[in-house]
Structure 1
Amino acid sequence: MGGGGSVNTEVRSQKSEHGHQRSGFSTGSTCRKATSWLCLFMGSVVALALTCCITSLSWADVDAAARQLQSEARRLAEEAHEQEAMAVRGTDGWLFFDQELAHVAAGRFWGVDAAKVSRASNPDFADPLPAILDFHAQLRDIDVDLLLVPVPPKAMIYPDKLMTGLTLGDPLPRLDPSHQEFYALLRENGVQVLDLTDTFLQERFAEQGPLYCRQDTHWSGLACVLAAQKIAGMIQEMSWHAEAKTRSFDHQWQDAQISGDLWRSLDDPDLKRESVALRRVGQKTAAGLEPVEPEQDSPIILLGDSHNLVFHAGGDMHARGAGLADQLALELGLPVDLIAVRGSGATPARINLFRRSQRNPDYWQDKKLVVWVFTSREFTHSDGWRIVPIAP
C-alpha cells in the first residue's frame, strides 16, 4: 500500500451533541438464488428492517422520512426550475443542485419506469441497466473487471442540511430505497457495485469536514480519500494486484478556499466562499509536492464524470493533486489511467474510452480493472445510456 493510512487512523468521527459516536451500518442484500422480483423485494425488506433496528425508528418512520425527503426535493427542484436557478439554498449555508434534487425525487429509474423520469432526449436510451450490463459483459469477455461506484446524492447524506422537520434517528437511516434496489439488481447480474452510502453516513461528521462541498455540486476532498480507501481495499484483494509494480508517494493535508459552481451561480456578494480540507498527493520536490500524473499503461482505468476531475485537474476543478485519481495512487502506490469528462459520465465517458482504444490497438492488453465513478443523478439526468463498444 502507498502509505495513505486507513479510514480508522485518518478519518475520525466527531461525537454528536448527545455525546455518543455516530456510526454507519451495512444494508447489503443477502439474496443469492431467487427470482429477480423476490430477491429485490426481500433485499429491500432486509435493508429497511436493519435500518429500523439500528436507528430505533419504526419501519413506518423510515418510510415516512424517505417520502418526506422525496416530496421536498421534488418541490424545491420544481421551484428552482421555474426560477431558472441551479442552486437551491438549504440550511447553515448549504447549497444543493436542482438536478440532483430532481433525481432524489424520481424514485425507480430503470425498466418500465425509466422513460417516465429520465431526461434523455431519446426514450430508447433512458434505462441505465442495459448499457451497464452490456459494458460489464464486454469487459468480462476480455478478462477485465468492472467496479461501479455511484456517488451518493448530497441530500441523501445530509438531508438535515436541505430541510428541517425530518425524524431521522441516530445514526441517520438510509433514505434511498430505489438506489438499494437497483444496486441489488446489478449485483444479481454479476456487476460489482461499491455503494458508498453507508460509509458516508458513518463519516458525515468527520473532523476534516463534510463529505460534500457546501457550495459546489461535487464531493469534498475528504470524500475522495474515503472513496479511494474503499476502492483500494477491494483492488488489493484482486489476484493481479500482488504482481503490480508499486512505488511510494507523499501527502499532506492543506486547507483551500474554493469558488464552488453553486456559489458562483448565485452571484451573492454576502455569501463567503467555503474552505475545504484537501489531502495533496505527489512526489516531494524542492518546490513542494509534484502531483502524480495519470499513466495510460496502468492496469486500472478510472472512468467517469467530473467527480474524477475535481481537486485533480485544477482550474474550475479547484485544485491539483488532491482528487480521486491522486488518492488512489497514494493508497495503491500505483497511478491510474484516467478517462473523465466534465459532462456526463454515462455515455460520453465510454465514447472517450472507445476512442482511446481505437488509437492504440494494444490498449486493453494489460488492463485489469475499470473503476466507473459518476454521480448517481446520471441515472436520470444524463442524455441517455447508449450501448458503446469498448474497442473497434
Structure 2
Amino acid sequence: MTRSLRILYIALFLGILLSLGLWSLGGVFSYIRTPDATLLNGRLAHSAEQHYDAEFPVKRLGTNLWALLDFKVFHEGRPGVVLGKDQWLYTDEEFNPVANGEQNEKDNFALVEGVRDALKKQNVKLILAIIPAKTRLYPEHIGNEAPASQHTDLYQQFHASARQADILAPDLLAPLQQAKNAGPVFLRTDTHWTPMGAEVAAQQLSDTISKKTPLTTAPLHYVTEALPSEPYKGDLTTFLPLDPLFSNLLPKPDDLSQRTTRQASEVAKSAPGSSDPTGGDALFSDATVPVALVGTSYSANPHWNFLGALQQAIGADVVNYAENGHGPILPMLKYLQSDALKNSPPQVVIWEFPERYLPMANDLSDFDPKWITQLKTSEATNDHLALNANE
C-alpha cells in the first residue's frame, strides 16, 4: 500500500468513527431523566445505560443487517416467529414440539378438572372456550415448515378430554373456518384473532349458554359500533427487527377494524331526545354477576373486543379477569383465590384457552403446592379411589 493510500485509509476510518460518534450523540441528548432516577439510588446510571443501549445506532445497524440476512437469505426471523407464504406470520409455539409435552398435558388437564370442581362447589358452571391454532385455521399460508406432530390432533384431543370430563366446550373451529370465507378471522401478522373472529366465537359460546345453562338474570341490550380501519403491525413483526433501515421489507400491516360495544342505555343517553331502547332493563336488572371471563390476551386485549362481543351475544354483563402475557392457567388460579369469586360468584365462567397452551409447562411457584395438588385431585379421581377402597 502506498503512502497516499494509507493516508486515505486512515482518513476514511477516522471519518467513519467520527460520523458514528456524532450519530450516537443523538441517543445521549434524547435521554430524559425520570424523577425517581438519581445518582444516590443508582437508577440514573442504569436508566441512562438502558436508554443509550436502545438508541445506540451501531447496535441498531448491526441488528438490522443481521435480521436482513436471516430474512432474505434464510427466510427466517428471530426465535418466536415462523415465516409463512403471502406475508403471513405464525408463532413458533404452534410449530415446535414441547419438552415433556405429554406429561404437561396430563398435569394441565388435571388442573382444568380441578377448576371445574372448584367452581361447581360455588354452583358456577364452567364453559371452556378452546381457541384453535392459527396454523389449524390457515394451513394454506404456512409454507415449507410444518407444525410438529405433537400439535396435529391437539385440538381434537383437548375436546375429547373435555367431553369425557363432562365440561362444556363448544366447537369453535368449524364456525371460524366457515366465517373466514367472509373475512379474516385471524390477523396475518399477529398471533391473535380479528374482532370478526372474536364475534364468531362469542356467538357460539352464547348459543351454548342459552341451550345448556340459561342465565336467570334479566337480559341486557348492547350495541357494537365499528371504528374506521387502520394499519396494524402485529405482535409477530417484533421478531423481524428490520426497523428502521429496512422497514419496507416487513410484511404489510394488517387492516384492523376495531369495534366498541356499549350498553344500549348508554348509547341512548348520549343521544339527546332519544328513548332508551333497553326499556329500562339496565335500571331493574339483577345486580348479580351473570358471567365471568378468564383467559389470555385473546380476551384481555381490547383490540379484539371479545368482551364486548360476548356481552352483546349473551345479552348480559360479563366481568373480565383475563390477563395479557400469562397464559390461560395462571389467571384462572388467581381467580379461584380471589374475593370476587368468593363474594360474588357468577352463574357461568367462560375460560378462554388457546389449544397451544395445553402441553406447555407453567410456573406455579406463586401458589401453595398443597393447594395445587389438591386441585389436581378431581372429584372423579376421589370417587374412583373411594370405590376401590369399598371394594
TM-score (norm 2): 0.61
| 1:152 equivalent in alignment to 2:127 | no
Identity of aligned residues (%): 22
CA 1:154/1:125 → structure 2, altered by over 3 Å: closer, same or farther? closer
> SS at 2:324's partner residue?
coil
CA distance in 1, matches of 2:145, 2:82: 18
Amino acid at match of 2:158: F
1:314-356 superposed Cα distances (whole Å, 9 cap, x missing partner): xxxxx3xx51111011112212011111123333112320342
Letter in structure 1 aligned against 2:254: E
Between the aligned partners of 2:341 and 2:116, the Cα distance in structure 1 is: 21
* Structure 1: distance between partners of 2:110 and 2:309: 31
Q: Write the distance in 2 (CA, Å) between the matches of 1:329 and 1:373.
A: 15
Aligned equivalent of 1:277, options 243, 253, 257: 257
The question of whether the paired residues in 2 share the 8 Å contact of 1:151 and 1:375 is answered with: yes
Q: Which residue of 1 aligns with 2:123?
A: 143
CA distance in 1, matches of 2:237, 2:137: 20
Structure 2 Cα separation of the partners of residues 96 and 238 of structure 1: 35
What letter corresponds to residue 143 of structure 1 in structure 2? N
The structure carrying a bigger helix percent of its residues is 2
Superposed, which structure 2 residues align to 1:254-265 within 5 Å? 254=227, 255-265=229-239
Structure 2 residue runs without a partner (length 5+): 1-73, 273-285, 365-371, 377-391
Alignment check: 8 A CA contact 1:135 1:388 kept: no
Which whole-Å CA distance do the structure 1 matches of 2:208 and 2:341 have between them?
A: 28
- Aligned residue number for residue 354 of structure 1: 336
Please name the residue that 1:213 is paired with.
187
Which one of 236, 254, 264 corresponds to residue 210 of structure 2? 236
Distance 1:387 1:374, change over 3 A: farther
Partner-residue secondary structure (3-state), 1:380: coil
Q: Deviations over 1:278-303 (max 9, x none)?
A: 3331243369xxxxxxx995221101
- Aligned residue for 2:294? 303
Q: Which amino acid in 1 is paired with 2:110? A: P
- The alignment partner of 1:187 has SS state of helix
State the 1:239 CA deviation.
Answer: 5.2
**Could you say which residue in structure 1 is the equivalent of 2:221?**
248
Cα drift, residue 240 of structure 1: 4.3
Aligned ranges 1:187-198 → 2 under 5 Å: 187-198=163-174
Question: In the alignment, is the contact (CA less than 8 A) between 1:222 and 1:279 conserved in 2?
Answer: no
- Report the secondary structure of 2:93's partner residue: helix
Alignment of structure 1 residues 63-102 onto 2, 5 Å:
84-102=78-96
Aligned to 2:347: 368
TM-align CA RMSD: 3.3
Please give the alpha-carbon distance, in whole angstroms, between the structure 2 residues aligned to 1:361 and 1:251.
32
CA contact (8 A) 2:225 2:259 kept: yes
Question: Is residue 327 of structure 1 aligned with residue 309 of structure 2?
Answer: yes
Give the unaligned 5+ runs of structure 1.
Answer: 1-78, 107-114, 167-174, 288-294, 313-318
By how many angstroms is 1:178 displaced?
Answer: 3.3
**Which residue is 1:202 aligned to?**
178
Structure 2 CA distance for partners of 1:200 and 1:384, relative to 1, 3 Å: farther
Report the residue type matching 2:359 in the other structure.
T
Task: Find the structure with the greater CA-based Rg.
Answer: 2
